[in-house]
Amino acid sequence: RINLVRESSPTRPLLAGRVEGNVFIFELAKTYHPRDGQDLPHEPRALAAAITGLWFGRFWSEPVRKVDFYDLKGIVEELARALDLQEPQWLPTSYDPFYEGKCAWVEIGGERVGIAGQIHPLVIKRYEIPNEVFAFELDLDRILALPTCQKEFRGIPRYPSITVDLALIVDEEVNYLQVRDVIQTGGGKGLKDVTLFDVYRGRQIPEGKKSLAFSLTFQEEDRTLRDEEVQEKVDRIVQELNRELGAELRSR
């Protein structure tokens, strides 16, 4: 087998109907690729995973919801962080058995290391799976050969952080990385984290537009932030987003 997602588990148990409900499964195995002029194949290790069902948040107050592509994306990004690698980049593509328009190559440090996306609805329907299935496959050997980022030691924070949710309406062609970069620049050094947690199209969103919702975490190392300071930073970020990307504030 030359890959795991199309030819083997973890998607096969789902497609065979042997499991139901909330499922998060993975497989680590060799794949086999023919090499010109050689009898023995190239045998890189691949890491594949599939998720379906419901996602339970980190906090009790978070609503239970169906898993989506961004949960899968978060797993890949968390793996990259754990290995001290650069942040993965996502390049839209089409690739069997994924759903066209909901599939992307994964690149780290300019190196293509895998693919991730939603399994095509026709495949899901054929096997009578009740929920959407999302899967990825990564070339583990290629990932482990990548250079790691330099670690920077930071002490335990002495002062509390403030988290603000920001929902924006942007043109369909604007991607999340463009928005994130403007947010990070506008937030300055006091902005410690930017996380995309929702993408919405549909009711109350104009045609040709989409809503991107971010969670912004602010924190200073030498003092406690005031709410007014954070609000000023958020207002400045919104102005920059409007100026550079034409983004409009949906809600906070």
Q: Do residues 133 and 50 touch, judged by C-beta distance below 8 A?
A: yes
Answer whether residue 14 shows pLDDT above 60.
Answer: no
Predicted pLDDT of residue 153: 65
pLDDT band at 175 (very low <50, low <70, confident <90, very high): confident
4 is a domain residue: no
Picking from 192, 194, 195, the residue whose alpha carbon sits closest to that of residue 157 is 192
Answer yes or no: do 126 and 194 share one domain: no
Answer yes or no: do 20 and 134 share one domain: yes
pLDDT band at 177 (very low <50, low <70, confident <90, very high): confident
Answer yes or no: do 170 and 68 share one domain: no
In angstroms, the Cα distances linking 104 to 35, 77, 89, 118 are 26, 14, 9, 10
Residues above pLDDT 90, as percent of the chain: 37
Direct distance between the N- and C-terminal alpha carbons of the chain, in angstroms, rounded to an integer: 48
Answer yes or no: do 20 and 139 share one domain: yes
Q: Between residues 60 and 28, which one has the greater pLDDT?
A: 28
Predicted pLDDT of residue 12: 54
Answer yes or no: do 134 and 206 share one domain: no
Answer yes or no: do 91 and 182 share one domain: no
Of the ranges 101-110, 150-159, 172-181, 194-203, which one carries the lowest mean pLDDT score? 150-159
Answer yes or no: do 197 and 114 share one domain: no
CB atoms within 10 A of CB 50: 26
Burial class (CB in 10 A: 0-12, 13-18, 19+), 187: buried
Of the ranges 4-8, 35-39, 172-176, 223-227, which one carries the lowest mean pLDDT score? 4-8
Average pLDDT, the chain: 84
pLDDT band at 3 (very low <50, low <70, confident <90, very high): low
Quote the distance between the C-alpha of residue 235 and its chain's center: 26
**Residue that terminates a domain, selected from 112, 144, 176:** 144
Answer whether residue 9 shows pLDDT above 50.
Answer: no
- Stretch 136-140: mean pLDDT: 93
102 is a domain residue: yes
157 is a domain residue: no
Model pTM greater than 0.75? no
Q: Do residues 221 and 158 touch, judged by C-beta distance below 8 A?
A: yes
Residues above pLDDT 70, as percent of the chain: 86
User: By residue range, what is the domain housing residue 124?
Assistant: 11-144
Predicted pLDDT of residue 7: 46
CATH number at residue 173: 3.30.70.380
Q: Do residues 133 and 11 touch, judged by C-beta distance below 8 A?
A: yes
User: Helix or strand or coil: residue 87?
Assistant: coil
Answer whether residue 165 shows pLDDT above 90.
Answer: yes
Quote the distance between the C-alpha of residue 208 and its chain's center: 22
Answer whether residue 19 shows pLDDT above 80.
Answer: no
Answer yes or no: do 51 and 136 share one domain: yes
Q: Do residues 102 and 118 touch, judged by C-beta distance below 8 A?
A: yes
**Residue that terminates a domain, selected from 93, 116, 144:** 144
Q: What's the structural domain count of the chain?
A: 2
Answer whether residue 220 shows pLDDT above 80.
Answer: yes
201 is a domain residue: yes
Answer yes or no: do 120 and 199 share one domain: no
Contacting residues for 206 by C-beta, under 8 A, at least 6 apart: 169
Answer yes or no: do 32 and 136 share one domain: yes
153 is a domain residue: no
27 is a domain residue: yes
Answer yes or no: do 25 and 138 share one domain: yes
pLDDT band at 230 (very low <50, low <70, confident <90, very high): very high
Answer whether residue 239 shows pLDDT above 80.
Answer: yes
Q: Do residues 46 and 4 touch, judged by C-beta distance below 8 A?
A: yes
Predicted pLDDT of residue 214: 93
What are the structure tokens assigned to 35, written together?
A: 């090499």
Question: Could you tell me which residues are beta bridge partners of residue 209?
Answer: 171
φ and ψ of 186, to 5 deg: -70, -30
Of the ranges 55-59, 88-92, 130-134, 152-156, which one carries the lowest mean pLDDT score? 55-59
Angle (CA) 81 223 233, round 5°: 70
Q: How many helices (H) and strands (E) does the chain have?
A: 6, 12
Answer yes or no: do 219 and 185 share one domain: yes
19 is a domain residue: yes
Radius of gyration for the chain, computed over Cα atoms and rounded to the nearest angstrom: 21
CATH number at residue 101: 3.30.930.10
216 is a domain residue: yes
